[in-house]
Amino acid sequence: MELTTVAPDEVTVHDGTTVHRHVGLEPATAYRFDGLDATTLPRPKGELLGTFATVNDVHFGETEAGLIDGQGEAFSVPPGSTPYPTLMNTDAVAEIAELDPVAVLVKGDLTTDGSAEQLAEFEATYRPTFGDRLHFIRGNHESYHHVEVGPSYERVELPGALAIMLDTSRDGHPNGDLSAEQLERLDDEAADSDVPVLVFGHHQIWLPDEDQRTDRFFGILPDASEALQALVARRTNVRGYFAGHTHRNRRRVVAASGDVPYVEVASVKDFPGAWAEYRLHEGTLVQVLRRVSTARALEWTDRTRGMFGGVYPIYSFGELGDRCFSIDLGR
């Protein structure tokens, strides 16, 4: 039994390929389901304005999971079976569509090596369902191969909020950066906005209290990370930065920018097979992590929880507070 998700009105428990979803619950209330204790999230401040969703690290074209630089135990599906990126993304699209979201934001690594065929499969999987509601940026699996796809900077208007998507990738490199032009535009956008601003990128930020200062840092380089943190401190309507890249669920704050969370969401392609639902209320944003929960998706993610000698869930799944939480949109 594994407590996956809490929301103001819901608790979801996974037991292998079986899902127990308890809905219609009271906010900020302790419950015990399936032998597990859980407390629902607090009631949001205001009325629900709309929902949107994010996905990241979809990796069309990948055929083996669990490898780092070609090393490790490979996890794959039998020849002739549906490729697991196709399976996981197709089923994620179907689940997200049930929300009727105002936007779907895909935060990079659309492909394995940026080929035209892989990009076409991404478009064919997501675009017919979401149309103009689909927005995406590239990740390191595109930029490493010098593939130009998606915008460097995009603004997405949401009900009562503004989303900014930033291409954090560096051509020919696995780690990330932000240009002076991107930061200046974000600063101007936040200064002019009369609604909360939410920022989305592929790479996670460098954390001064946790990460070594080096140009080899796997996320956004330290100087650019500090510039973003300073911008967040200066523009108090910027209320969160949301990334992928690390294939894990994690939420951190940085002293320099107060209570603003820097969030990472796990990959959709293998364990835990995740996407994020966002409920946008007046004054509150609620993140609700979802595991793709079709039978075939759970069979695959139950297998791939065994990656890296079985320790992968410790890294990738995160604590409940990394997966599901509320953000105060006023500061």
Angle made by CA atoms 14, 53, 77, in degrees to the nearest 5: 55
Distances (CA, A) of 161 to 10, 31, 156, 189, 237: 24, 32, 9, 12, 10
Across 280-309, average pLDDT = 97
pLDDT at 309 over 70: yes
- DSSP 8-state symbol, 262: E
pLDDT of residue 61: 97
pLDDT of residue 331: 66
pLDDT tens digits along 163-208: 999 999 999 999 999 999 999 999 999 999 999 999 999 999 999 9
Task: pLDDT band for 225, please (50, 70, 90 cuts).
Answer: very high
pLDDT tens digits along 117-153: 999 999 999 999 999 999 999 999 999 999 999 999 9
The whole-angstrom separation of Cα 108 and Cα 174 is 12
> Which residue is associated with the tokens 């973003």?
228
**β strands within 113-243, DSSP E:** 134-137, 153-158, 161-166, 197-201, 238-243
Task: pLDDT band for 28, please (50, 70, 90 cuts).
Answer: very high
Q: Which residues, 6+ apart, have CB-to-CB distance to 210 below 8 Å? A: 252
Across 262-270, average pLDDT = 98
The whole-angstrom separation of Cα 152 and Cα 168 is 8
Most distant CA pair in the chain, distance = 54
pLDDT of residue 328: 96
The whole-angstrom separation of Cα 87 and Cα 269 is 8
pLDDT of residue 282: 96
Answer for the pair 141, 109: CB distance below 8 angstroms, yes or no.
Answer: yes
| Surface-to-core class of residue 153, CB atoms within 10 Å of its CB (0-12 exposed, 13-18 middle, 19+ buried) | middle
The residues with which 288 forms a beta bridge, in sequence order, are 277, 324
Q: Are strands 262-264 and 238-243 parallel, antiparallel or unpaired?
A: parallel
**Helices and strands counted in the chain (H then E):** 8, 17
pTM of the full structure: 0.97
pLDDT of residue 69: 80
The whole-angstrom separation of Cα 266 and Cα 275 is 7
Task: pLDDT band for 238, please (50, 70, 90 cuts).
Answer: very high
Across 72-88, average pLDDT = 95
Domains in the chain with CATH codes: 1-43 (no CATH), 47-328 (3.60.21.10)
Mean pLDDT, the chain, rounded, equals: 96
Q: Which residues, 6+ apart, have CB-to-CB distance to 209 below 8 Å? A: 254, 255
pLDDT at 67 over 80: yes
